[in-house]
Structure 1
Amino acid sequence: MFNLRGARSNKGRYLLLLGADPLLRERAIVSALRTYPGPVFGMMESAVVNANRVFDHVLAANPYNAKEALEAVEAFERETGFTPDAVVPILELNIHVAMAIAQHYGLPTLAEESLTLARDKHTMKVAFEEAGVPCARHRLFSTLAELEEVAQELTFPVVLKPRDFAGSVGVIKVTDAADLAAAFDHCRASLLEIAPTYDFTDGRYQVEEFVTSTHEVSIEVINYEGRRAVLAVTDKAKGAPPFFTETGQLIPSRESGNTALRELALRACEALLIDRGIAHVEVLMNGPDEQYVVEVAARPGGDGIMDLIDRVYGYNPYDLHIAAYRRTIDELPAIPSEPEGVAAIGFLKAPTGVITEIHDVPAGPGPEIARYVTSKVGDRSRAATSYLGRNGVIEVFEAGTSPADAEAVQDRVTALAQELSSELFTVIEEDIEL
């Protein structure tokens, strides 16, 4: 803990930021330190090992467990007298934790009804259907036998997914009923792998009809006590079926000026009663007039999307997200009309196997502005079935590039990520002793 009783102590109050320490979300910390007139706290299970030195203090607790997190905040209050002034979630799985702490201290937070709707893909789709928001037909299942039964009520191809979590974990396309058993095994095993970390329960799955689309976009919407505005639209690069792994993000989207899409994103947030902070809306496009909402997360988009907005439009959207939880917003902004260029992210992907070497590959003369390798020698590179299969990321910004050329930029970023991946990693297929 740093000295918290100086000029920035804010009279014993602090801003608690949950989920801002992972890669590509750190700009939330930058925003908090710039805009909040007091100390900024984080939270992680070990506040000693790998503690984040950017925070003024790190509370030692599981940031995904509401009971444990609140107990840590209360213990710190008893020890020091300091209490939270605002609790801001950045990751989806921190929202219920932020809500528990905020409710205890009487602070602004997301509506409890919204958490119920937005965290469960089933209740979410029911809310969409009731509000007339177009989405895929779906059914629930817990076991393979239930899946085989309810799938008969839908039209193939279908998509299996856990009702909880995101990042394409467990999501898989099935073209024929004969493939349901193998797909079920994948969906369930993927969920159970991460279940201990996030306290997920087995048996919570859904199957939905596959929606034909030409491309997918996401929309960032700022919500504030009954008002909403679109901040940006992102083009998403996707991997090949049967998985739906996101391989890159790009702003501005080819759909940035699509008024109907922007209105649909606002309606989707309204249907889920999201009333605070940035929400991330994912939409499948099949031509300019046929749109289907995949899902909405009541938190800012990941994968560095906030950073892309910052580079293209010149402001940090986390400023608005934090201000919504502090109740310091006066007017909601409109989506900027003049981007300063095109920004994109592409993910590095090593071949499947054990990484035996990671090479030093100098940056070339192209538009690459940042590169992060997230794997190390000895790691097993897994198949690209979800975000868990990534081995790193590159960031690109082309100043002055027209939005009309955005798709060409994404193609270049994808090609660069593939080329770098082949040069960076040496992989063998089987396990070896290193």
Structure 2
Amino acid sequence: MRSPVTENRQYLLVFGATMALRERAVVAALRVFDGPLVTIARSVDARAAKFFDHVLTGDFSDPDTALRLVLDFEKETGMRPAGVVPFIDPGLVPGRLIADHYGLPFLSRQAIEDSGINKNRMKDRLLAAGVATPRYVQADDLDAAYAAVAEVGLPCVVKPSAFGGSLGVRLVRTQEEIAEAHASVRRTIDATATFTVKNRGIQVEEFCPLVDEVSVEVLTHRGVTTVLAVTDKSHGPQPYFAEVGHRVPSTYADRSDVRDLAVRACEAIGLDRGVAHVEIRLEEGREPQLMEVGARTAGDGIIDLVERALGISPYELHVLSYLDRLQDIPRPQPAGLAAIAVLKAPPGTVAAVRPVARVDAAVTSYEVYAAPGTVSRAEQANYLDREGYVECYWPGAEPASVPKDAHLDIAARLAAEIFVMEGAEGEAAAP
């Protein structure tokens, strides 16, 4: 998707804005950057690729490949990047290499290496700084896994030392589950070729029993760290930890210990630019626990929810910070409650996808990924086990005024109407 360019113009290079539920990053970039928008994708049929002026085709998650593509593009067009902006973890290391080559602002190398792309280093930095977080033990082989479980105790969590989207994260309750859980994580690591991931380690982590989870979107720029929003998170059934819904603002939005913990975590990691995504487990009357620090904006449409509910665009602030043009940090003013929930078909094969004549008044949009022939898994192990999503908004509402699971209930009713499964009553009559 390249076109000849004769002018020596600068462009904005972004990583990850073609991914599902991150597309509004394109809108934000175009609002604040007056020039062409460029991305790197594996192919020109990547999601949202048509919204970019140029798509450089190749492995965006491999640093050497990404830099070569940008250098080749410069030779072809004379164009150079004015900024490099990551919206996903796999864009951090390639983005840093490109930014270094062109002398552009970016996160420090240490902050990248100590963030969620390497959960071992992340944990080490947090624990060294006295940040409350579950401890871990490295367990790359089965013998090490048994030893690690003996050290941290049961229940515990076996997970990849890299990856995101709940890929490979598994709860272990008994000694008998250790071998299968470890093997399952190893299979996930070996089978996942979506990104170039050099860290293929496994860790065993203490289980955090706190019942609720939030994410905190934190902006750092020129030495000032600011909490932009707090989001309630919902998970599918254990032994997995797949995220199935989010709400903004959180019922915990005003808890100072939660906000302070998120800021301390970002400072411990050394984040010095842009928006970070911090995940925290908590409940009333208990000290919150830091779970993860992502050195990039949130996925799963969370940033869209923040913009709708609070009237600010973290994507815009993120881009401006990476361009080193951010001047003022707006104060969020809640205007309502925004939420998103996963659409999940029943287990089996989808026979038909039906149009919906009428949706709940709170629904602002929905999208279906599944098509006839799609196999829906019974469990929701990670972000891949979903057949779509629905977004909702309650204008003027406060968190306490809307039932906690309202968005999940809307998603369940919508999925029941949309998906016809093979063998289900009425299948033959479905369009």
SS in 2 for 1:364: coil
Q: What TM-score do you get using the length of structure 2 for normalisation?
A: 0.93
The answer for the alignment partner of 1:395 in structure 2 is 391
How far apart are the structure 1 equivalents of 2:106 and 2:280? 26
**Conserved? CA contact 2:12–2:35, under 8 Å:** yes
Instruction: Go from structure 1 to structure 2 and tell me whether the alpha carbon gap of 1:367 and 1:68 turns closer, same or farther (over 3 Å shift).
Output: same
Give the equivalent residue in structure 1 for 2:400: 404
Q: For residue 116 of structure 1, report the CA deviation from its aligned partner.
A: 1.0
In the TM superposition, what is the alpha-carbon distance from 1:94 to its structure 2 partner? 1.0
Asked if 1 retains the 8 angstrom alpha-carbon contact of 2:4 and 2:77, the reply is no
Distance 1:50 1:22, change over 3 A: closer
Task: Please give the residue correspondences for 1:28-427 in structure 2 after superposition, counting only pairs within 5 Å.
Answer: 28-47=25-44, 52-118=49-115, 119-194=117-192, 196-201=193-198, 204-334=201-331, 336=332, 338-382=333-377, 383-406=379-402, 408=403, 410-427=404-421
Residue 279 of structure 1: how far off its partner (Å): 0.3
Offset, 1:360: 1.3
Distance 1:330 1:388 in 2: 38
Counterpart-to-counterpart distance in 2, 1:58 and 1:288: 50
Residues 122-153 of structure 1, C-alpha deviations (whole Å, 9 max, x = no match)? 11111111111000121011111210122111
Which stretch has the larger CA shift, 119-128 or 49-58? 49-58
SS of the aligned residue for 2:105 comes to coil
Q: Measured at CA, do residues 202 and 345 of structure 1 come closer, stay the same or move farther in structure 2, by a change above 3 Å?
A: same
CA change 1:231–1:49 in 2 (3 A) is closer
Structure 1 residue 214: Cα displacement: 2.3
For 1:387 and 1:268, the matched residues in 2 are separated by 25
Shift in CA distance, 280/51, structure 1 to aligned 2, threshold 3 Å: closer
C-alpha deviation, 1:404, in angstroms: 2.0
> In the superposition, relative to structure 1, how do residues 371 and 51 fare at CA in structure 2: closer, same or farther (>3 Å)?
closer
1:53–1:172 distance in 2 versus 1, CA, 3 Å? same
Q: How far apart, CA to CA, are the structure 2 residues paired with 1:324 and 1:257?
A: 26
Q: 1:22 to 1:49 in 2, by over 3 A?
A: closer
How far, CA to CA, are the matches of 1:248 and 1:36 in structure 2?
A: 31
CA distance in 2 between partners of 1:362 and 1:20 (Å): 31
Residue aligning to 1:21 = 18
Deviates most, 67-76 or 346-355: 346-355
What is the TM-score with the length of structure 1 in the denominator? 0.93
Q: How far has the Cα of 1:310 moved from its partner?
A: 0.7
SS at match of 2:49: coil
- Give unmatched runs, 5+ long, in structure 2: 424-431
2:67 and 2:98 in contact (8 A); partners too = yes
Q: In the alignment, residue 414 of structure 1 is paired with which amino acid?
A: L
Do the aligned residues in 2 keep the contact of 1:141 with 1:203 (CA within 8 Å)? no
Distance 1:182 1:49, change over 3 A: closer
- Residues 143 and 203, structure 1, Cα contact 8 Å, conserved in 2: no
SS in 2 for 1:270: helix
Identical aligned pairs, as a percentage? 37
- Structure 2 counterpart SS, 1:28: helix
Letter in 2 for 1:184: H
Distance apart, 1:275 and its partner CA: 0.8
Aligned length: 420
